[in-house]
Structure 1
Amino acid sequence: MTRAILDATARGLVDEIAADPFAPLRVAVLAPGGHGKTTFLRELGEVYRGAGVPVLESLADAVAAADDDAALLVDDAHLLDDATLDELRGLVDTRRLRIAVACRPWPRPAALTELTAALSRTRPPLLPRPLDHQQTEDFLAARLHLPPGPAVVEFLRGQTGGVPGFLDRVVAALDPSGEPAAHLPPAAIAAFGPDLDRLDPDAQRLLLAVEAGVGLHIDLLGQLLSRDQDAVSDVMQACRATGLLGNDGTLLPIGRRAVAALIPAEQRIGVRQRLAELQLDRGAPVLGLASSLLDSGASGGSVATVFHVAAREALPDEPALSARLFAAAVAAGEPPSAVKVGWAGAAALSGDLDAALRLADQLIAAPDPVDRAAGANVAAAALAHCGQLGRSAELYRWAGTDSARAFAAVGLLGTGHPDSAAKLAETSADDGPPTLLAGAASLMSQGIHDSVTGSATTALSALLRSAALLEPAGRAALLPDSPAALAAVVAVHCGELSIAESVLQRAVAANTGGPLMSVRHLLLLGWIAMVRGNTVAARDFLTSATAKTPTLCPRDWLFATALELGLARRTSDLAALHRTWGAACEAVMRHPVDLFTLLPLGEFVIVAARLRDQDRLAPHLHEALDLVTRLGGAPLWATTLHWAGLHAAIIAEQPDAAAEHARALTACAGHSRYGAVISAAADSWIAVVGGDVDPARVEDAARGLHGVGLWWDGARLAGQAAIRTSDRAAMVSLLDCARLLQGKATGRAAQATPADEHRAARAAAPTDDLAATRLSDREREVAELVLSGLTYKQIGDRLFISAKTVEHHMARMRQRLGCTSRGELLTQLRRLLGATA
């Protein structure tokens, strides 16, 4: 006989009876549906029959039985009428037969209570429990005739709660020809239909309420069912008796799916709508219920109000959901004028700038001055993200609130209008409330003003205080730019990369500015990693940022494209430069030049020179230079711009232009330590390119660049000087400096070296170890880079050696491996290093 899979207590009783089948037995078996009561009685019957004990399964058989040693096994006693239950109790009292009676805990008529009490006088009731993990595995293995994987066992036990009857329904619905998968077949859900149909309407409504997330809120359930507390408890007991509802008031996952799928949709919507209305009347949260009514077709005044209230609840944490709820409120009958302000703000915060601008434009034309100001604020913020900083400033100025005027001043400074910004600061305030947003906006304005006219230290201080002030309430703040982002941009422009990184990390943790700002914060973190030479981390930030939204706003697209180009330039990936350049040119044309996008513009200018397309970017560079001129020179901002212009001129072999940028950097040198470092590095670059390599001067300049966060630039300066000097000792010293600075730049999250990549490739693919050992580490590095498609010059730049040295390594490898042609050498290297073409 194949033993059934029972829980420990049930199995223990079966084994006890098997050891002494003729011992007296009177036991009540109490458990909800699916818990194995029937299986237990079946197993018990097999034991008795095997021992020669007659098994009776009906009261009529028991009354007629002449053998007092028979065993009477009664299932589903909760369905019997009172008279039958009384007769069963009489048999128990006579002690004529061995008796086991199984029933659910509900319904509980008095006659059944008396029967189970009589059975319990000699033995406590048997209470079958769900199967544990091992029992579930054994159960599935027995039904499936093969051992299931751990993931399948864990999934099915989690979905069914280990209730054997529910597990059996899942197994019965599985495809017998295939292996079990971690999913619930539709047929397994459909099998619960008869169970739900047998419930009365109140029990169905209660299950629908629980499925909607109400839990054990007895007062709310009472209002839903129009019952008092005791009556609600009775309905809940009826639901628990099905096995679908736990004592904690939650549905098993399989039960939740069954209730959602099998009870008619109109009942489900009706219950949720009524619950939402009740919650609204109580002043309780309605977001969860309202969300479940989206796209259901529910409408009417109360539903519209529910959607409206839920939209406001969702705004701080889920602005995209908030915008959907505002739209649903209008569709359900809410007047558009009542929701348009919130709807426009939610759309903007979620990053749907087109919808935000459309709604804001309608508000700007509204008769209510409050609505007009709100619309102007939304449109201004959206336009700033679209790159229209000048138009954004105009709208903020028109809106007239304290925070709007401060944001307008930031926009005016960012577009090169310091006089207008100063006049705006002189206008009287609107006596609005001194909110966190108003305070943060004021500090933002002060910080940007200081960055143009004062010192980097005072500018950063104001911006950092602004960022900290906004953190507690910044999730729902609709911003043209976040103080954290502006602080980071200023910090990068003055060489304070650690400060930039810290303030951005805090903004990400606080979700300042919501989804609208999250992409910008990640892109700026990627920019910092790129400047430090950590291309792996920079790539990760870029990937995370672009994964957040299918369409980047113009400002974010500008930074993302510049970051893509910057990574390609730093890894000498000429193909990627060409591939991205078209998008970069479009991004530049779509985004007017402003103070806060000089970083990507500088990268574009350098790449344009690398691709011999500098004429296309020349007007934008001239416009940027004119911008800083209108701001009185703005050394903090001009330094990075001239540094990029210097490199572009060097790459384009334009010595006069390079000298002009170097002179401009000299003029900025006295304004900050960063300016002095950049000026010294510029002079060193000019000298190196001209063939005048002073090792001590180059090392000082390279270490200075590293000290202000430009780790990759510092290593590159030393490396380029090394390959341009004819002094062997100077070359070795400069190469050591370059490698040291490059190593410090990579840190713990460093980009893998070519040697590391080679070792990983060898571990992953079979190679000819004997032949591979003929190559030195440096030759392996060179071989890897040649196979990746880089030119000798690009490889030299990457490894801080000359192109001639790369050629020498290739010649040595060709001779050592006995190759007669370059093609044969590349074939051998692919085989040896596990590389691909």
Structure 2
Amino acid sequence: MRTLLSPGTVPDTELILDRQTRDLLTAIETDPTAGTHIGVLAPGGHGKTTVLGEVAAAYRRAGVPVLDGRQGAVESGVPGGAADEGGRERGYAGVLLVDDAHQLGEDRLRALRRIAETGRLCLAVAFRPWPRSAALAELTDLIGRARTPLLPRPFDQAQTTAYLTAVWGAAPHRALAEFVHAQTGGVPRFVAWLADAFAETIPGQQAGAQPSLPPTALARFRYELERLGPDLQRFLLAAEAGLAPHLDLLGSLLGRDADGVAEVMAAARATGLLGPDATLLPIARTAVRALIPLERQVAVRQRLAELQLARGGPLLGLARSLIRTGIGGASAAAAFEAAAEEALPAEPALSTELYAAASNAARPSPALLARWAHAAALSGDLNATLRLADQVIGDGDTPDRSGARVVAAALAHRGQLGRSAELYRWAGQDTALAVVGLVGTGRLAEAGQLLADSTVDGPPTLLAGATALMAQGVHESVTAPATTALSTLVRASALLEPTGQAVLLPDSPAALAALAAIHCGELTVAESVLARAVGASMGGALMATRHRLLQAWILMLRGNTTQARELLGALRASVPALEPRDWLFAVALDVGLARRDSDVAALHRIWHQACEAVLRHPVDLFTLLPLGEFATAAARLRDQDRLAPHLEQATALLAQLGDPPLWTSALHWSCLHAAIIAEQPAAAERHAAALAGAAEHGRHHAVLSAAAHSWLAVLAGQVDPDSVESAARGLHAAGLCWDGARLAGQAAIRTADRKAMVGLLECARVLQGRPAGATRQARPATADPGKPQAGAARSGAGAAGQLSDREREVAGLVLDGLTYKQVADRLFISAKTVEHHVARMRQRLGATSRGELLAQLRALVHHPSDT
């Protein structure tokens, strides 16, 4: 039993004295003759000893003897020392204080009851709510008839902060005070332990470091946990695993009936380690995990896993903690496998680990290997996917061909779309996914026959409906109007959104819908369907990469090159090793962004990757966008021969499919520009004629045809401003913002009509996102535009007035590090004109060197790099 002479839990006792306790202390000091028996009831660590000490102090101040409830005083039934005369006159000998009464034996508790009944001593007894023996119940009932027990409560946030301030001599950082309160639940003893442990690290914690539990704080729990019985320890381990509320599970774990489980839970609450909801306090949970021997933890968790498996309950939390313990056996393998299925939708990487643990615990079945391969694919590890699934395919005793479906999906991501289609057909199911591969590789007749013969094999799930619509939409993209195909694919994507997180597909309906939308100029539709797919995590991590690449592609087409580059950079940082199909699109984005920035040096650096990416990924229907970008870049770099075989394959593929307008126009548009850059007028006319032939198939095709006609006319020196502007604005409306601005800009620098040139430049500026019709800043009347003004040439405001709007644009781009040629391409002027602008700025500002000129320009145009 704890002696009352030891210090209390909390040095600042005012913190734990509630109104009931304060009123009692006041009453004792005012009229000690009115004293009655006092009970103090609370779980461990809540400050019972401190409250008892305050009661003792109040009686001493009132002149009443206070006796320590040591063994001799309790057994004799008389005071341990003679009471003073005042005490005898008051009718009782003093106050007997008894702490931790729940630890006393039956005989001593009955002796205390007899003392209370004599009225010679006033009892002040502190006890926990458990254990509650019959003798203790009789004693506390007697005390309770006189006065409701005092109930010390945990600190609230303000009390925790006040306590830390008192101990440390300074107010704690708010985050640290909140951390201490959250970890301890405000239990005074644990607050004190954590305050002591933090005492040496307060400066670092107050500086804003993320608080964490010091090891010394956890060490204080060792004695508390070691003195608990086996059942109570098992209960705490179950609570640490999050399974404490399940009474039937606890009954099986502890081998007790409902009353027995309730008794163990009462004992656990009495320790002070649990919060009001019967869950472990955070600091106690960490202590249980750190201090109870590992073998005991593993044994309890394994038993809980077996029980959960038998009752069909969730296993993920338990299995996660057992992955690296090395447990084995059939029951452990079954638990790991069930947990892996549970983790698959949200955490495919964890699911992969759990399948590996199941395989290590017992000999894996082919079905387990197939699901393991499925999880590995969703997590993005296609090497493991192919290795595992190949074992399933090679097992002659496999009851189904699920491994083939996994390999089929993986091969599609690796660029083997034809082989993927064959595996889907061989698997005997998912023939809808085979249709996608067959159409993508030009085998339209086979795809049509398979689509016509396909029947629903199994329940009509959302996945079955989505894949059927996806196959139908892909087939329609080459046999029906673009709007029909796009509608079918968008519906397929919407159908899969609720359940598509753990679905392994060769391509997602969202990606195919976005590709179709990009090819027919419906960029808003593409953005919407991709955003929804990303939000729903459709296809897991594997498809997330493809969706984000297509989002970056749309940004590039719209002229938002900075955002596209940022998205691509973030993607590469999160997924360093891209699969061939994704790498093809990523490199094509690099090429397209460099081309739009007129960065020939960057194109040279990237080109070898582009050539390798094309070699690693065979041409198929769904990779025509990257191929078109490569075709234009090859012309710019005068390396068309290297790409020519791949373009021929693409042409042959489209011919096999009947040259569907939805897919052909984008490639013809890119090849038109490649021919223009390579100065091949015959080839340019051929591609323009192909675009004209598709003009009747939709608005987007008509826009491309009109723009192609304008390009050919501009190159021939026949600039019709109205026709060019109409074509440029049509491109902009179709989402091809950069293309529209470039058409207007190139027409402007090729016309001899100054009025037409100014109008087309204004159009190009607007389509590029720059303000139109900007007025020049007025110059001082005395300023000579040819000579620097004294004092004003190098001053911010005076010199700023000497730059025209165009010179400001040139200055900004020069400060961005662009070459004269790149600046010219951005502003649709010649490099000579840029050079002329720079020379005039240098003359006006009186700069004697390029470095001095750049320094002055930074001050004048307030360049972002200086802010």
TM over 0.5: yes
Q: Is the aligned partner of 1:66 residue 2:66?
A: no
Q: Is the aligned partner of 1:727 residue 2:738?
A: no
SS of the residue 1:511 aligns to: coil
Q: Return the alpha-carbon distance in structure 2 between the equivalents of residues 559 and 287 of structure 1.
A: 37
The 5 A counterparts of 1:494-505 are: 494-505=520-531
The 5 A counterparts of 1:426-437 are: 434-437=460-463
Q: Return the alpha-carbon distance in structure 2 between the equivalents of residues 535 and 237 of structure 1.
A: 64
Is 543-552 or 192-201 further displaced after alignment?
543-552
SS of the residue 1:120 aligns to: helix
Q: Return the alpha-carbon distance in structure 1 between the equivalents of residues 470 and 716 of structure 2.
A: 43
Distance 1:287 1:50, change over 3 A: same
SS of the residue 1:34 aligns to: coil
Residue 37 of structure 1 is matched in structure 2 by: 48
Is 594-603 or 630-639 further displaced after alignment?
630-639
Residue 685 of structure 2 is matched in structure 1 by: 659
Q: Return the alpha-carbon distance in structure 1 between the equivalents of residues 119 and 805 of structure 2.
A: 91
Distance 1:812 1:120, change over 3 A: farther
The 5 A counterparts of 1:436-447 are: 436-447=462-473
Deviations 1:340-379 (A, max 9, x none): 22222222233221122122222222224643x3222111
SS of the residue 2:39 aligns to: strand
C-alpha contact (below 8 Å) 2:414/2:581 kept by paired residues: yes
Distance 1:590 1:781, change over 3 A: same
Q: Is the aligned partner of 1:153 residue 2:177?
A: yes
Distance 1:114 1:568, change over 3 A: farther
Distance 1:721 1:226, change over 3 A: same
C-alpha contact (below 8 Å) 1:488/1:499 kept by paired residues: yes
Which of residues 663, 672, 681 is equivalent to 1:646?
Answer: 672
Distance 1:835 1:517, change over 3 A: closer
Distance 1:807 1:501, change over 3 A: same
Which of residues 785, 806, 810 is equivalent to 2:838?
Answer: 810
Is 516-525 or 469-478 further displaced after alignment?
469-478
SS of the residue 2:40 aligns to: strand
The aligned amino acid for 1:4 is D
The aligned amino acid for 1:391 is R
Q: Return the alpha-carbon distance in structure 1 between the equivalents of residues 109 and 524 of structure 2.
A: 80
C-alpha contact (below 8 Å) 1:464/1:483 kept by paired residues: yes
Which of residues 219, 223, 227 is equivalent to 2:256?
Answer: 227
The aligned amino acid for 1:21 is E
| Ranges in structure 2 where 5+ consecutive residues have no aligned partner | 1-6, 74-78, 88-92, 772-793
The 5 A counterparts of 1:103-122 are: 103-122=127-146
Which of residues 416, 435, 438 is equivalent to 1:409?
Answer: 435
C-alpha contact (below 8 Å) 1:130/1:164 kept by paired residues: yes
State the number of aligned residues.
813
C-alpha contact (below 8 Å) 1:6/1:40 kept by paired residues: no
Which of residues 5, 13, 33 is equivalent to 2:21?
Answer: 13
Q: Return the alpha-carbon distance in structure 1 between the equivalents of residues 844 and 383 of structure 2.
A: 63
Is 718-727 or 554-563 further displaced after alignment?
718-727
Q: Calculate the aligned-residue CA RMSD, in Å.
A: 3.2
Residue 236 of structure 2 is matched in structure 1 by: 207
Q: Is the aligned partner of 1:508 residue 2:525?
A: no
The aligned amino acid for 1:619 is P
Q: Return the alpha-carbon distance in structure 2 between the equivalents of residues 726 and 47 of structure 1.
A: 105
Q: Is the aligned partner of 1:75 residue 2:103?
A: no
SS of the residue 2:80 aligns to: helix
SS of the residue 1:102 aligns to: strand
Q: Is the aligned partner of 1:166 residue 2:190?
A: yes
Distance 1:360 1:827, change over 3 A: same
TM-score normalised per structure 2: 0.86
Q: Return the alpha-carbon distance in structure 1 between the equivalents of residues 50 and 409 of structure 2.
A: 67
Q: Return the alpha-carbon distance in structure 1 between the equivalents of residues 865 and 340 of structure 2.
A: 53
Shift of 1:107: 1.6
Q: Return the alpha-carbon distance in structure 2 between the equivalents of residues 45 and 586 of structure 1.
A: 87
C-alpha contact (below 8 Å) 1:17/1:23 kept by paired residues: no
Residue 331 of structure 1 is matched in structure 2 by: 360
The aligned amino acid for 1:179 is G
C-alpha contact (below 8 Å) 1:34/1:165 kept by paired residues: yes
Residue 678 of structure 1 is matched in structure 2 by: 704
Q: Return the alpha-carbon distance in structure 1 between the equivalents of residues 800 and 548 of structure 2.
A: 43
Residue 247 of structure 2 is matched in structure 1 by: 218
Residue 595 of structure 1 is matched in structure 2 by: 621
Q: Return the alpha-carbon distance in structure 2 between the equivalents of residues 665 and 602 of structure 1.
A: 15
Is 494-503 or 264-273 further displaced after alignment?
494-503
Is 814-823 or 233-242 further displaced after alignment?
814-823
Residue 247 of structure 1 is matched in structure 2 by: 276
The aligned amino acid for 1:397 is R
Residue 395 of structure 1 is matched in structure 2 by: 423
Distance 1:51 1:286, change over 3 A: same
Q: Return the alpha-carbon distance in structure 2 between the equivalents of residues 618 and 114 of structure 1.
A: 99
C-alpha contact (below 8 Å) 1:642/1:662 kept by paired residues: yes
The 5 A counterparts of 1:320-399 are: 320-368=349-397, 370-371=399-400, 373-399=401-427
C-alpha contact (below 8 Å) 1:7/1:130 kept by paired residues: no
SS of the residue 1:64 aligns to: coil
The aligned amino acid for 2:582 is D
Is 646-655 or 144-153 further displaced after alignment?
646-655
Shift of 1:326: 2.2
C-alpha contact (below 8 Å) 1:5/1:138 kept by paired residues: no
C-alpha contact (below 8 Å) 2:748/2:756 kept by paired residues: yes
The aligned amino acid for 1:36 is G
Residue 258 of structure 1 is matched in structure 2 by: 287
SS of the residue 2:527 aligns to: helix
Distance 1:35 1:364, change over 3 A: same
Distance 1:137 1:815, change over 3 A: farther
Distance 1:474 1:85, change over 3 A: same
Q: Is the aligned partner of 1:4 residue 2:12?
A: yes
Distance 1:149 1:610, change over 3 A: farther
Deviations 1:778-828 (A, max 9, x none): 655443322221113323433455545544543454344431121211233
The aligned amino acid for 1:34 is G
Q: Return the alpha-carbon distance in structure 2 between the equivalents of residues 611 and 11 of structure 1.
A: 86
Which of residues 684, 691, 697 is equivalent to 2:723?
Answer: 697
- The alignment-based identity, stated in percent, is 61
Residue 855 of structure 2 is matched in structure 1 by: 827
Q: Return the alpha-carbon distance in structure 1 between the equivalents of residues 805 and 49 of structure 2.
A: 72
Residue 826 of structure 2 is matched in structure 1 by: 798
C-alpha contact (below 8 Å) 1:74/1:102 kept by paired residues: yes
SS of the residue 1:146 aligns to: coil
Is 524-533 or 200-209 further displaced after alignment?
524-533
Structure showing greater Rg = 2
| Ranges in structure 1 where 5+ consecutive residues have no aligned partner | 746-766
Distance 1:827 1:536, change over 3 A: closer
C-alpha contact (below 8 Å) 1:10/1:40 kept by paired residues: no
C-alpha contact (below 8 Å) 1:723/1:801 kept by paired residues: yes
Residue 108 of structure 2 is matched in structure 1 by: 84
C-alpha contact (below 8 Å) 1:485/1:520 kept by paired residues: yes
C-alpha contact (below 8 Å) 1:475/1:511 kept by paired residues: yes
The 5 A counterparts of 1:744-763 are: none
Q: Is the aligned partner of 1:141 residue 2:169?
A: no
Shift of 1:503: 2.2
Shift of 1:198: 1.0
Shift of 1:274: 0.9
Is 27-36 or 415-424 further displaced after alignment?
415-424
Deviations 1:743-798 (A, max 9, x none): 399xxxxxxxxxxxxxxxxxxxxx99657855676655443322221113323433
Distance 1:468 1:359, change over 3 A: same
The aligned amino acid for 2:218 is I
C-alpha contact (below 8 Å) 1:4/1:39 kept by paired residues: no
Q: Return the alpha-carbon distance in structure 1 between the equivalents of residues 676 and 419 of structure 2.
A: 36
Residue 179 of structure 1 is matched in structure 2 by: 204
SS of the residue 1:29 aligns to: strand
The aligned amino acid for 1:500 is A
Which of residues 641, 649, 655 is equivalent to 1:629?
Answer: 655
Deviations 1:43-85 (A, max 9, x none): 5556666777665433457532414386554432322333433
Q: Return the alpha-carbon distance in structure 2 between the equivalents of residues 707 and 540 of structure 1.
A: 24
Shift of 1:596: 0.1
Shift of 1:736: 3.1
Distance 1:332 1:422, change over 3 A: same
